[in-house]
C-alpha cells in the first residue's frame, strides 16, 4: 500500500474513534448519573478500549512487546 493511502486511512479511523470515544463517554456519564452503574461502567470501558485502539492506529505499535 502506498504511504499516502495509509496516512489517509489513519486519519479517517482516528476521527471515527474520536467520535466513538466522545459518544461513549457522554452516554457513560449520563448512565452513571442516572444510577445505571453497569451501563456507565461498560461505556467507560469501551471508551478506554477505543483510546488504546486510537493509540495503536496512530503510533502503529502494540502496547506490550511480544
Chain segment 38-66, per-residue pLDDT in tens: 888 888 888 888 888 877 877 776 666 55
Between the CA of residue 48 and those of 20, 25, 54, what are the distances in Å?
11, 9, 10
pLDDT value for 38: 85
The pTM assigned to this predicted structure is 0.71
In this predicted model, what pLDDT tens digit does every residue of 6-37 receive, in sequence order?
888 888 888 888 888 888 888 888 888 888 88
- Return all residues near 55 (Cβ < 8 A) that are at least 6 apart: 63
The pLDDT assigned to 44 comes to: 85
Is the predicted pLDDT of residue 4 greater than 60, yes or no? yes
Amino acid at each position: 500500500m502506498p504511504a499516502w493511502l495509509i496516512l489517509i486511512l489513519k486519519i479517517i479511523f482516528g476521527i471515527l474513534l474520536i467520535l466513538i470515544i466522545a459518544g461513549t463517554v457522554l452516554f457513560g456519564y449520563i448512565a452513571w448519573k442516572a444510577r445505571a452503574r453497569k451501563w456507565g461502567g461498560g461505556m467507560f470501558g469501551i471508551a478506554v478500549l477505543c483510546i488504546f485502539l486510537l493509540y495503536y492506529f496512530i503510533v502503529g505499535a502494540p502496547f506490550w512487546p511480544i
